Amino acid sequence: MNFLKICINELINAGEKPFQRQNKLYFTLNQLKILPIIIKKIQTFSDLKINPYYLFDNNIVEPYEYALSICVVKEITSKINYFLSETGKKDILEINKNILILLDNTYYEVLENDIDSFIVYLKKYLNFISNKENIIIDSFRKNMKLHNIKFDGIFYELT
């Protein structure tokens, strides 16, 4: 069984069932907080993406800029080069500080045998997104002029 399937099965078996929509499973942030423990237990890892979605009533919006990407690599490249390539800028000083913070907290490269760094980066992201969740929700509610919502929240898909 591959890494992603093991993680998803472990999350499902941990208790609270994920939200299911159109054959996709979405987890809450609280559910994801045990993911580092699961990875430590299974002692395996590979590339991981966690995509957040704002679900409200029967709608779904993806705040893609908050998606996590942990890439397992043979050699770590410069994060500055990543920032420049993602923004299309030629100099790090041209990049808005908030964009740098966002990119720094959502993209990581980890060496193939470095499970400890993988777990540290996952925890860093979970802490970062935990501090941003309410801001993201409030922003969507305000920008989309949402009122009288019966159901909403941020849910996460592992890919």
65-107 tens-digit pLDDT: 999 999 999 999 999 999 999 999 999 999 999 999 999 999 9
Closest to 7 in 3D by CA, of 34, 19, 21: 34
Q: How far is CA 36 from the centre of its chain?
A: 13
Mean pLDDT score of the chain: 93
- Report how far residue 43's alpha carbon sits from residue 25's, in angstroms, rounded to the nearest whole number: 23
Mean pLDDT of 36-43: 97
Q: Is the pLDDT of residue 114 over 70?
A: yes
What letter does residue 121 receive in the DSSP assignment?
H
- Which pTM does this prediction carry? 0.92
CA-CA-CA-CA torsion sign (2, 159, 125, 80): positive
pLDDT bin (cut points 50, 70, 90) of residue 9 is very high
pLDDT bin (cut points 50, 70, 90) of residue 146 is low
Are the C-beta atoms of 6 and 48 separated by less than 8 Å? no
